[in-house]
Amino acid sequence: MMSLIVVGAIVLAIALGYKTRINIGLFAIAFAYLIGCFAMGMSPNEVIKLWPLKIFFIIFSVSLFYSFAIINGTLEKLSEHLLYSCRKFPHFLPFAIFFSSTLISALGAGYYTVLAFMAPLTLLVCQRTGMSMIVGAMSVNYGALAGANFVSSQSGIIFRTLMMGAGFSEEDAFINALGIFISTAVIPLLVITGLVFLTGHAKTMKESGFSIDKPRAFDSKQKTTLTLTLVMMLLVLAAPISAILMPDNETITFINSKINIGLVASIFSVIALMLKLGDERKAIASLPWSTLIMICGVGMLISIAIKAGAIDQLSSWIGTNIPSALVPVAFGVVGALMSLFASTLGVVTPALFPIVPSIAANLGIDPMIIFICIVVGAQATSISPFSSGGSLILGACPSDENRRDLFPQLLFRAAPLGFAVALLYNLAITFVL
């Protein structure tokens, strides 16, 4: 009975958040308190301790450092240079948009930030080149997602932390997260290639006569910011990769055990402030506070669900009612349906990742495959106009007429296409790997 109450609370929190446009995390915190204290007999302090402090600290620290590259214009300037480099090959612009978005997102801008300044630029490029808005929208959305999924970027860090919270070692979480990144980088290339070369878009863009003004050079602060960002990424990636390649080396194992991306990012934030690469107040104000509240609030409610036994019951139901070969694919479909109305980071992965260990162990499935299927499925429908990605792209439209034209295209073409390709990919890795 208690499990049903908690599951109902999760569904109700998502529905209320979608209906009222109030952060889902706030509803989740309220339900965690009411159910935990008054239905399960927990003390208020026990409920407060369910706040996922580790996830909060890591996202806060990493986002704070990466925010300097946003507020001083480094990442926006980088995107302009990358697009300018493709000016003589307009039919490759969708790939330039995808790789630009991926790189900038991987450098720490995160999914929402990349869409905020890349989507308007992309839709403007669509107008000037005759490129389909669907092609442009999917290119920038896929790129922002793939880059954010990189193991040292925002989504990748969240995935790794959730996996470790579910009982996986740091090395296994790193490998699983790397598998997610590779998958979400391969799928877009397949989709974009098909859209460009199999639908006539390449010919249209070749004949467009597209031109773009040469962007200004990076200033000294932007060069320093870019250097610091690359150094930090290399530092936090070198240790775990070395530990995987040389697991018996005691020195590397020791160093890897002392590397924490949140703490490293804190040091680099201090360096950035000492070098005056950006204003401290602006950097703090630009942090993804709404995302933090949503992820941590839902995390509290999911912890209540775990204590109530809901996760174990759901795992048992899936293990006995769905053919084992189709379990990863089923997870992908569920993730896609949830993502139509809820956040992948804030709702889908915190709700589904804790189920994976027991399912994988009971059915003898590689947990990486299930993790990949969940994220691939969830992010396949993120371009829906009812989801955060699609709504940001619609908001970037230069006119109401463009917005009216793009809405049905996102809903009836882009989202179904993304879902179909994700489903095929999940089927392929489930039966091939």
Rounded to whole angstroms, the Cα distance separating 69 from 268 reads 12
- pTM for the full predicted model: 0.84
Averaging pLDDT over each range in 2-11, 175-184, 397-406, which range is the top one?
175-184
- Summarize pLDDT for 355-379 with one digit per residue, the tens: 999 899 888 899 999 999 999 999 9
* Residue of higher predicted confidence among 116 and 304: 304
pLDDT value at position 156? 93
Q: Is the pLDDT of residue 22 over 60?
A: yes
pLDDT value at position 206? 63
- Summarize pLDDT for 187-218 with one digit per residue, the tens: 999 999 888 877 766 666 666 555 667 888 99
Q: What angle do CA 220, 224, 228 make, to 5 degrees?
A: 170
Read off the pLDDT band of 168 (50, 70, 90). Answer: very high
- Summarize pLDDT for 50-97 with one digit per residue, the tens: 998 988 998 899 889 989 988 998 888 888 887 787 777 777 888 989
Burial class (CB in 10 A: 0-12, 13-18, 19+), 259: middle
Read off the pLDDT band of 278 (50, 70, 90). Answer: very high
Q: Is the pLDDT of residue 305 over 80?
A: yes
Rounded to whole angstroms, the Cα distance separating 99 from 281 reads 31
- Summarize pLDDT for 306-316 with one digit per residue, the tens: 888 887 787 77
Structure tokens that stand for 220 in this block = 């000294």
313 Cβ partners below 8 Å, 6+ apart? 3
Residue among 73, 50, 53 at smallest CA distance from 61: 53
Rounded to whole angstroms, the Cα distance separating 357 from 179 reads 16
